[in-house]
């Protein structure tokens, strides 16, 4: 494997870094959703790395997506979720599984951030267990009708387009799931923002669906094939989640190095004390390891090779790493880390989400362990049209 980034990826990384410093960091104290920044990122092509030109992309691939996502998360982890929602779990899922009419209608608008998207998996009684989804989809002949409730939906209060996962028969579990694209500007789509610990610039919502409709052509994949759609979406979504964790871990290193070099105690900078050096060394090592793991997973996806196992490992490791790194950053900063005057407390709050979102740490452990023990192989043959997908049960 060549660890050197291409000149094209380096160029877009440079642009993402410039944007993060000039546009994102200067407004980091605004703990609100900033739609204007999202639109600018879309216009600059940050969400389009993995998409072909016809859908507003640059065709640079998933490794480029990972690199750009890391740079933005380094400035504000809350904006990391947009790389999922404008790209991998919404737009790319529509591009991979949708009808041509659905692709033409939604994908480019999402990639360039003309419209915002969200993915509706979780429910009050269904989190990691997607097969237990209770939201109901009914075939009404000329359209679908959806009723139910969703929770912990990123972008839920601001999305124009949603992929909703629902069941036509709960007794069938995963075999009854369907995925459908829904436009949110209708009376039955009702949202309420959920207050949360971190990632304040990324709204999360409870959503209630009452007789929400969708045209028949908005079905993704086959009727009853929603579980397969979900699994492929989650695989790719973990690229941006793991990349975001790496970016946030790097931010913790950046601020800790600066603080250690400037904070003087007992007549010298605390950077000269061995315990501080030990913390910095561990933070750097964990972050570099996580970076290599996630880039390997993204690279495998670019090669069209199986990557579920590898991206699961990277998502798990990066999530654990950023929580530990942010805690060590708090220790290095001492009392100032606990104050609201420096960003390290924000990093500490934001980090925890990486152990939870897009597959919890325990779910990732199960995936990795089942593969190692020969109980259930994580990787499966990569196929490019949904009618050819192998059984994912």
Of 134, 358, 388, 393, the active-site residue reads 358
Cβ–Cβ under 8 Å, residues 146 and 153: no
Q: Which residues pair with 177 in a beta bridge?
A: 167
**Structure tokens that stand for 108 in this block:** 């480019």
**Structure tokens that stand for 370 in this block:** 């089942």
Q: Which residues contact 220 (CB under 8 A, 6 or more apart)?
A: 93, 94, 97, 98, 102, 163, 179, 180, 181, 226, 229
Measured between alpha carbons, how far is 314 from 145 in angstroms, rounded to an integer?
38
Residue 138 annotated as catalytic: no
- Residues involved in catalysis: 358
């Amino acid at each position: 494997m060549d660890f050197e980034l291409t000149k094209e990826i380096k160029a877009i990384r440079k642009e993402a870094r410039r944007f993060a410093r000039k546009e994102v960091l200067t407004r980091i104290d605004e703990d609100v959703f900033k739609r204007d920044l999202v639109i600018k990122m879309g216009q600059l092509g940050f969400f389009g790395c993995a998409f072909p030109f016809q859908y507003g992309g640059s065709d640079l691939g998933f490794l480029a997506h990972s690199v750009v996502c890391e740079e933005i998360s380094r400035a504000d982890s809350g904006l990391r979720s947009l790389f999922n929602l404008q790209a991998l779990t919404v737009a790319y899922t529509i591009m991979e599984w949708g009808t041509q009419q659905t692709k033409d209608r939604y994908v480019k608008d999402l990639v360039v951030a003309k419209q915002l998207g969200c993915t509706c998996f979780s429910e009050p009684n269904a989190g990691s267990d997607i097969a237990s989804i209770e939201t109901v989809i009914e075939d009404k002949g000329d359209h679908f009708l959806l009723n139910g409730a969703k929770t912990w939906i990123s972008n839920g209060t601001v999305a124009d387009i949603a992929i909703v996962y629902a069941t036509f028969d709960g007794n069938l579990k995963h075999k009854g799931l369907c995925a459908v694209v829904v436009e949110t500007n209708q009376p039955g789509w009702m949202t309420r923002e959920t207050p949360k610990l971190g990632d304040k610039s990324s709204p999360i919502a409870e959503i209630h669906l009452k007789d929400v409709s969708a045209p028949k052509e908005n079905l993704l994949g086959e009727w009853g094939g929603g579980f397969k759609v979900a699994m492929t979406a989650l695989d790719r979504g973990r690229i941006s989640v793991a990349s975001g964790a790496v970016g946030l871990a790097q931010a913790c290193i950046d601020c800790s190095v600066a603080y250690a070099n400037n904070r003087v105690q007992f007549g010298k900078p605390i950077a000269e004390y061995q315990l501080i050096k030990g913390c910095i060394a561990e933070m750097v090592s964990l972050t570099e390891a996580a970076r290599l793991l996630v880039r390997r997973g993204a690279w495998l996806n670019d090669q069209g090779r199986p990557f579920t196992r590898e991206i699961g490992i990277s998502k798990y490791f990066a999530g654990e790493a950023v929580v530990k790194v942010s805690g060590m950053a708090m220790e290095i900063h001492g009392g100032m880390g606990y104050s609201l005057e420096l960003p390290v407390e924000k990093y500490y709050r934001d980090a925890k989400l990486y152990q939870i979102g897009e597959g919890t740490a325990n779910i990732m452990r199960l995936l990795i362990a089942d593969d190692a023990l020969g109980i259930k192989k994580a990787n499966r043959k990569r196929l490019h049209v949904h009618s050819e997908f192998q059984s994912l049960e």
